[in-house]
Structure 1
């Protein structure tokens, strides 16, 4: 009765972990309207008041973006759409031509694009011509549909669950499964894993359409679906389905115990290639070092799948069905595997966090960083439980010294095997029935309980304790997986920390005029420290003006700071950007020299308050 109660508590703990995981998915941070790319600057700038209507609107994002058809609109003071023709996408810069003969008043710029890591970016702002007026409203503006946002996270979670149910059981069944034990249970896990990954992949492709366009779950058209399949996101998911189809052919012989060495090698190659499709379709695609991020994310997923999938096999089958002799051979080998998997998981996670978080302040000030902290805390708890499990394995083996000596023997056995090889060979041949033999069915704790008159009860008790520890690990890691599913839908901390205040209260914008051009100047965040400067040149009648050379300086005469050159990088013919660190607050004098031809140039100045 006590043993049954303990088993019930262990399973209840795992079920509670799964329930909390589901709640984390459904109640976690909502998908932001502007996802992983951020609007860095615009021309005209937000809330700017212009003397005349511009001929175009330019949006500059933090990374390359793609078009969502008919989702960029500029509305005039009367609510009518004034953009003319299709917008031009040039990496991170989007140029929207508009009617320059528009009325005086306030205009609304509404946009929705797709960032480099496949997430939608939506937002809106206003500018005025002549004088501000009541801003128009965009009744067609849309965000991510709540049902779509929740479904995207659920399907990502199912994909992760499928990975561990596929990779871990395949590995254990190939190298650690005793021949006498039935293979029906593990085979069901493997097919369930394949099914979950297929479901997750197909669901992700379908949902990507309404996720980027802002519609409901069934707002999917053939052309929009074609656009998704033609993107990097779609290609990665199609490759994943192809790899799964090939793997399914090789899994059959493995389940039956007839897989050869070449089949195992091919499955390993397919597994690594399939794992790589996750980072290619996610954050890693837009990372500052995409090649490194893809490799690191692949290692991260592999470590997770091996570790957690192996725990499922231990808790669900081996600790319940294997006898003492088999467990004494299996557990030391598995303990080493788990150590390697967790080490790879930890190392890859650290590198991944350094790339995506970037700065210590971003770790605590952004949602992404806070989720990383929560994940690390839970992971530390899992490591503590895993260390306890490893200690139980050591105690079990030390308490059975003859078995330990037999397994640790380093001199060749009569079969030519030594040490760990003998341990793994013993697992494969223990009580050796033929391949495919269903054996004697499940053997619970009672089936392996020795006669109290001849043997101690240590093996049964240690197996129960190890099984409880395994279920505790799985319960906690279920929540970690849920956090991961939310994490991949959250803007990376490096983006949120760098651009989170773009256009905020400290944002400075002005228009400077000379006899030959007008210059739109934007300084963000207009605070002490690092600042971004954006310059847009226009003709006196507000048409884009090609510039041959840009020069700029910043000085603080009140404090004796001489002019500091601002290095400028031309982004388009009429748009340049630069970065400068302003060491002190005060009224900084910014001087700009714009040369149009060999003889036509003019200099303008602006006083910018820096807080």
Structure 2
């Protein structure tokens, strides 16, 4: 085929690239802008979890660690009689979700269940109870199920694994055919592998979009509605996947001439730009876009993914084609070049992986205390094993007789591929797991960043809430009840805080009576330790009693 014969094909390829880029641009224009944030957790609520309040609130307020988005119909407040107590749609304002509640729903225990979407596209769900007047048997929420469908969760991991596999099966052949493939050898086998990789990648991308609907809403595989699908396609997650599909369509037009024969420098540069842009869509649809340093995390994750695709895709081409088909002279020229490429890819993987770990894990303790951290350790262990095999492979390529006896190299290559296939599985699970920096800081509920206790005396019961139960400024709420759990009017409130182990004498806590049964105050606790809090409540001109509590302050 002459150069003149190739020119019309190249013009057609570039027109196809332009069409694919227009589709990508359209996806970007149609997607609404939303602020980036991290994998959210519930850090506090009002009323607090397990609290007993004297009167019914007009709203339940949920405060998350980062801004969240709504899942329609998935935030509910159930009254003690099992009826819905929430009224109207909840309002979302950054990290705060306000749920209007009917204040006349009655006394007893209420159930609050929620499911929202964090900016890294993962659902956040949970439930807690609070009581009005006195606790009762908690109601059941039979109208909705916020639990994740395990079939959907596993299908999402499989789809992500297929996406990684398709990427490396596409990148490896494209790179080797463009730079290392001997002219005398047929390109049919590698081209078929690359087209299969492109097909798997496109299928995985569509599957991820489909599965995201039931994954975020909590339904089954076929629970797909127009509203849910529209919400996913209009989200940052949907935008990233639509852009990826557009870039793949554009790249396909340039891949066809590449698979047929060498291409010009312009087409190679355009193809590299499209590939780099496509790599960025992975971090934009996951944890990196919501990290404390999103720009750094997105770039680092794209480099990490690209280096993986180059290394593993090249290994597949080396073991599947070059070491079987190339002759001694060709291997003598190819293997040293590939060895340098592999070394650069591994160096990029190590550097990018280290930066990722520092951002997402945050503390050494989180490596062993969180699921995310333990998965990172497993990935590090497997990667170290791969590096040992890779070092052996590189030593083989430096030997003079390797080109004449490629079987040893092939065996080492396939061992690398087998181990890294497991690494990809760990990675597919890792990207669906709450980052350690967030999991380790989950302070929702009593016992972590919050203290609550019910103190009893012969005259009354006192519900004590201290938030955040840490060094520095703290908020105190006191609720008084009779012995039969009815609101107890109080004439006078007094409170002190002391830390005998540090020689801190009792500090008076100024209290403001918000109602005759509820008092509020602020206190600064300057040191960590077991603080002694004492509360004196006078219920009449002559009746009063003192209760105390030991509060661990971090």
TM, length-normalised to structure 1: 0.72
Is the 1:198–1:241 Cα contact (8 Å) retained in structure 2? Answer: yes
Q: 2:100 aligns with which of 97, 105, 113?
A: 97
Q: Distance in 2 between matches of 1:576 and 1:177?
A: 75
Residue 497, structure 1, aligned to residue 500, structure 2:
no
Change beyond 3 A, Cα 1:338–1:558 = closer
Change beyond 3 A, Cα 1:294–1:382 = same
The 5-angstrom pairing of residues 429-440 of structure 1 reads: none
The 5-angstrom pairing of residues 13-412 of structure 1 reads: 36-139=39-142, 140-396=144-400, 399=401
Is the 1:45–1:509 Cα contact (8 Å) retained in structure 2? Answer: no
Shift of 1:576: 13
Is the 2:76–2:112 Cα contact (8 Å) retained in structure 1? Answer: yes
| SS across alignment from 1:216 | coil
Change beyond 3 A, Cα 1:191–1:535 = farther
Change beyond 3 A, Cα 1:370–1:533 = farther
Is the 2:499–2:530 Cα contact (8 Å) retained in structure 1? Answer: no
Is the 2:44–2:445 Cα contact (8 Å) retained in structure 1? Answer: yes
Query: Could you tell me which residue of structure 1 aligns to residue 410 of structure 2?
Result: 467
Higher-RCO chain (CA-CA 8 Å, sequence separation at least 6): 1
Q: 2:529 aligns with which of 561, 584, 591?
A: 584
Moved more, 488-497 or 577-586: 577-586
Q: Distance in 2 between matches of 1:86 and 1:286?
A: 26
Shift of 1:586: 2.6
Q: 1:560 aligns with which of 503, 518, 536?
A: 503
Shift of 1:93: 1.1
Change beyond 3 A, Cα 1:581–1:265 = farther
Q: Distance in 1 between matches of 2:506 and 2:276?
A: 55
Q: Distance in 1 between matches of 2:280 and 2:525?
A: 38
Residue 478, structure 1, aligned to residue 421, structure 2:
yes
Q: 2:467 aligns with which of 502, 523, 526?
A: 523
Q: Distance in 1 between matches of 2:133 and 2:431?
A: 44
Shift of 1:259: 1.5
Is the 2:49–2:445 Cα contact (8 Å) retained in structure 1? Answer: no
Query: Could you tell me which residue of structure 2 aligns to residue 602 of structure 1?
Result: none
| SS across alignment from 2:441 | helix
Is the 1:41–1:503 Cα contact (8 Å) retained in structure 2? Answer: no
TM, length-normalised to structure 2: 0.80
- Unaligned regions of 5+ residues in structure 2, if any? 1-37, 455-462, 480-495, 510-519, 536-546
| SS across alignment from 2:74 | coil
| SS across alignment from 2:88 | coil
Change beyond 3 A, Cα 1:255–1:537 = farther
| SS across alignment from 2:440 | helix
- Unaligned regions of 5+ residues in structure 1, if any? 1-34, 400-457, 512-518, 539-552, 567-574, 591-604
Q: Distance in 2 between matches of 1:212 and 1:589?
A: 46
Q: Distance in 2 between matches of 1:317 and 1:581?
A: 68
Query: Could you tell me which residue of structure 1 aligns to residue 551 of structure 2?
Result: 609
Change beyond 3 A, Cα 1:506–1:40 = closer
Q: Deviations over 1:468-501 (max 9, x none)?
A: 0000000000000000000011111111111167
| SS across alignment from 1:159 | helix
Q: Deviations over 1:341-383 (max 9, x none)?
A: 0000010000000100000110011111000001000000000
Q: Distance in 2 between matches of 1:531 and 1:312?
A: 57
Q: Distance in 2 between matches of 1:286 and 1:535?
A: 33
Query: Could you tell me which residue of structure 2 aligns to residue 428 of structure 1?
Result: none
| SS across alignment from 1:585 | strand
Q: Distance in 2 between matches of 1:374 and 1:583?
A: 35
Q: Deviations over 1:130-170 (max 9, x none)?
A: 11000001122231112111110000000000110111211
Change beyond 3 A, Cα 1:473–1:585 = same
| SS across alignment from 1:327 | helix
Moved more, 553-562 or 167-176: 553-562
Is the 1:41–1:534 Cα contact (8 Å) retained in structure 2? Answer: no
Is the 1:588–1:610 Cα contact (8 Å) retained in structure 2? Answer: no
Is the 2:331–2:403 Cα contact (8 Å) retained in structure 1? Answer: no
Shift of 1:196: 1.1
Change beyond 3 A, Cα 1:295–1:326 = same
Q: Distance in 2 between matches of 1:306 and 1:536?
A: 58
| SS across alignment from 2:63 | strand
Q: Deviations over 1:313-356 (max 9, x none)?
A: 00000000000000000000000000000000010000000100
